Amino acid sequence: MQVMKVRPDNLLTIQLSSGGYDESEPAWSPDGTQLAYIRIRSVGQIWIMNADGSDPIQFTRSGAIDNSDPAWYPRENLILFSQVLGLGSPSKQLFGMRLQDMGEAEEYVILPGSPSEYTPLMDNVDVSPDGYWLAFDYWYFNVLSDIYIMAFPGANLIQMTVDPAPDYDAAWRPFP
């Protein structure tokens, strides 16, 4: 898998990623100058490259812990993503890290509720255009998925769907 872009004027397809690894899940920066994406060697790590595919650089360095689904926060040069809670764990949590902390600081968790509560699998985060709300999948014991939203950074958790079938991959509509 590779990260590609398509020019809308002539439908020309351009490969942006290097081709040496599985690379997927691209997310544009708010200003359109960079892409965050997943590069998989043995586990997924988040990388960043310029919009033309140049200067790829590793963003997360969580060892054997898998990261996925990057999303740019529209302010503060922050990337949100899902991270497995431990080696071999099926549970994921929402994490974030600022660009200026890349390689120097730990990722930080974005939790709804208190840490003593059961933490379901949280995945596929999408940030509202104003940066106030996060929408994401909330999986209960890896069986049932609903869409939730919460105010950033982790308050006012609201269930948006109640459905016996899995609901996932919510997306915000851009401002007109």
pLDDT at 54: 94
The answer to whether 145 touches 92, Cβ cutoff 8 Å, is: no
pLDDT of residue 90: 66
State the pLDDT at residue 160. Answer: 92
Task: Check: CB of residue 123 under 8 Å from CB of residue 82.
Answer: yes
- In CATH, the number for domain 4-159 is 2.120.10.30
Which has the closest alpha carbon to 122: 109, 135, 133, 137?
137
Rounded Cα distance, 114 and 127, in Å? 22
* pLDDT on residue 35: 94
Residue with tokens 């890896």: 142
pLDDT of residue 157: 85
pLDDT in tens, the chain (176 residues): 788 788 888 888 888 887 777 888 899 998 999 999 999 888 889 999 999 999 999 999 888 888 999 999 887 788 999 888 766 666 778 888 888 887 676 777 776 554 445 456 778 889 998 889 999 888 766 567 889 898 887 778 888 998 888 888 888 888 77
pLDDT of residue 48: 94
Residue 38, burial from CB neighbour count under 10 angstroms (0-12, 13-18, 19+):
buried
CA–CA–CA angle 37, 43, 47 (5° rounding): 25
State both tokens at 9: 């004027």
| C-beta of residue 107 within 8 angstroms of C-beta of residue 97 | yes
Question: For position 89, what pLDDT does the model report?
Answer: 65
DSSP codes joined into one string, 12-69: -EEE-S-SSSEEEEEEE-TTSSEEEEEEESSSEEEEEEETTS-S-EE----TT--EEE
